[in-house]
């Protein structure tokens, strides 16, 4: 099951050896050859872990299995350019070293291809990486690549923009806007801005249509989730699965603000859906129309998205390295 060779493939190799001895060597060579892996590092990611990536890769990556490169981004959007370059150069695996925003850039390029996404979490929150089991320790995360399995996961699309973890409308979009361009990253600035935004944000009335239902509600937050959590183990959609072909839609109805703060402990242990102000359901397609201007984020990055918001799920569109012993 290690890296890109499954037991089913091994059986397939043996059958092919017997049936087609001529193509045996090419097939085996492809499976047994060291995989080419490139680390795309965002030097401005939320933590400073990425400063130690070269040393960690030299010491902890299995050099019998991988031939590696390390590239650094120089500007916004550069991670996507480098991911395209990696594909053109025939890399098997592209590792995003950063937060959900960096993962988003790389994943957007790898959608519907055989190039595999790896993750070294070095952002402020790292919701997707934490869910997949990469953890916060750089050396351990690098070692996990050595034995990780390949898994296909869903991706979301919002008006043509891909996202791998979460998209949000309302309060969390407002917080993402506040964090945009902020020099202060990390948990405390995020918490401070969230509390301040929580007190000043004005909810909008939103109409949410799916293939099964339509509802209109004054919403503090509408989250369209592919993965279950933001960073810091805050589980906004504890039932979200990355490979079920469905979004989990989570709505915070408009209630006195203290109720949201009181529900924070529940969100950390996967019991947010027990809160009285939460409504949740699943769907493949979602259309959201809100009164007035609202705020939108995808994978934690604030985006301009005027007008109706149309979401579509792309089932199993992205190949990802998942640490062993952890299901997606
Ligand atoms: Mg899902």
Is residue 50 within 8 A of residue 98, CB to CB? The reply is: yes
pLDDT at 326: 43
Q: Which two tokens mark 222?
A: 């509408």
Tell me how far the alpha carbon of residue 165 lies from the centroid of ligand 1, in angstroms: 10
Tell me how far the alpha carbon of residue 243 lies from the centroid of ligand 1, in angstroms: 6
Is residue 66 over pLDDT 90?
Answer: yes
Q: Which long-range contacts (CB under 8 A, 24 or more apart) does 2-7 make?
A: 2/65, 2/146, 2/147, 2/149, 3/35, 3/65, 3/146, 3/147, 3/148, 3/149, 3/150, 3/321, 4/31, 4/35, 4/92, 4/116, 4/150, 5/31, 6/149, 6/150
Tell me how far the alpha carbon of residue 196 lies from the centroid of ligand 1, in angstroms: 31
Mean pLDDT of 14-19: 59
Tell me how far the alpha carbon of residue 162 lies from the centroid of ligand 1, in angstroms: 14
Measured between alpha carbons, how far is 112 from 265 in angstroms, rounded to an integer?
38
pLDDT at 185: 64
Structural domains of the chain ordered from first start? 34-147 (3.40.50.10330), 161-314 (2.60.200.40)
pLDDT in tens, 51-65: 789 999 999 999 999
Mean pLDDT of 291-306: 86
pLDDT at 193: 73
Measured between alpha carbons, how far is 302 from 167 in angstroms, rounded to an integer?
10
pTM: 0.86
pLDDT at 192: 73
pLDDT at 310: 96
pLDDT in tens, 177-202: 877 766 666 667 767 777 777 778 88
pLDDT at 328: 39
pLDDT at 6: 45
Measured between alpha carbons, how far is 48 from 46 in angstroms, rounded to an integer?
7
- ∠ CA 175-178-180, nearest 5°, is 110
Tell me how far the alpha carbon of residue 245 lies from the centroid of ligand 1, in angstroms: 5
Tell me how far the alpha carbon of residue 237 lies from the centroid of ligand 1, in angstroms: 10
Q: Which of 36-45, 180-189, 242-251 has the highest mean pLDDT?
A: 242-251
Tell me how far the alpha carbon of residue 242 lies from the centroid of ligand 1, in angstroms: 5
Tell me how far the alpha carbon of residue 238 lies from the centroid of ligand 1, in angstroms: 11
Q: Average pLDDT of the chain?
A: 87
Tell me how far the alpha carbon of residue 287 lies from the centroid of ligand 1, in angstroms: 17
Tell me how far the alpha carbon of residue 15 lies from the centroid of ligand 1, in angstroms: 35
Mean pLDDT of 15-21: 59
Question: Would you place residue 261 in the very low, low, confident or very high pLDDT band (cuts 50, 70, 90)?
Answer: confident
Tell me how far the alpha carbon of residue 183 lies from the centroid of ligand 1, in angstroms: 33
Is residue 327 over pLDDT 60?
Answer: no
Tell me how far the alpha carbon of residue 225 lies from the centroid of ligand 1, in angstroms: 7
Other beta carbons less than 10 A from residue 235's beta carbon: 23
Tell me how far the alpha carbon of residue 226 lies from the centroid of ligand 1, in angstroms: 5
Please give the residue that has the higher pLDDT: either 319 or 326: 319
């Amino acid at each position: 099951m290690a890296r890109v060779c499954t037991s089913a493939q091994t059986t397939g190799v043996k059958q092919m050896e017997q049936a087609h001895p001529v193509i045996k060597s090419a097939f085996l060579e492809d499976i047994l050859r060291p995989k080419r892996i490139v680390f795309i590092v965002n030097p401005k990611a939320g933590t400073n872990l990425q400063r130690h990536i070269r040393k960690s890769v030299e010491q902890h990556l299995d050099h019998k299995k991988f031939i590696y490169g390390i590239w650094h981004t120089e500007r916004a959007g550069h991670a996507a350019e480098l991911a395209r370059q990696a594909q053109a150069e025939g890399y098997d695996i592209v590792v995003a070293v950063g937060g959900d925003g960096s993962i988003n850039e790389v994943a957007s390029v790898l959608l519907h291809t055989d190039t595999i996404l790896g993750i070294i979490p070095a952002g402020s929150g790292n919701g997707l990486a934490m869910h997949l089991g990469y953890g916060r320790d750089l050396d351990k995360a690098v070692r996990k690549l050595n034995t990780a399995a390949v898994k296909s996961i869903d991706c979301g699309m919002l008006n043509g923009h891909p996202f791998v973890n979460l998209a949000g409308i309302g309060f969390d979009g407002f917080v993402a806007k506040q964090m945009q361009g902020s020099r202060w990253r990390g948990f405390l600035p995020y918490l401070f801005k969230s509390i301040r935004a929580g007190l000043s944000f004005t909810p909008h009335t939103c109409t949410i249509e799916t293939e099964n239902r339509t509802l209109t509600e004054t919403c503090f937050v509408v989250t369209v989730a592919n993965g279950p959590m933001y960073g810091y183990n805050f589980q906004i959609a504890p039932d979200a699965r990355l490979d079920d072909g469905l979004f989990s839609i989570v709505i915070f109805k408009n209630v006195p603000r203290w109720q949201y703060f009181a529900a924070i402990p529940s969100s950390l242990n996967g019991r947010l859906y027990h809160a009285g102000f939460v409504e949740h359901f699943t769907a493949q397609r979602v259309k959201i129309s809100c009164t007035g201007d609202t705020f939108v984020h995808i994978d934690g990055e604030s985006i301009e998205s005027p007008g109706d918001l149309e979401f579509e799920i792309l089932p199993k569109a992205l190949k990802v390295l998942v640490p062993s012993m952890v299901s997606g």
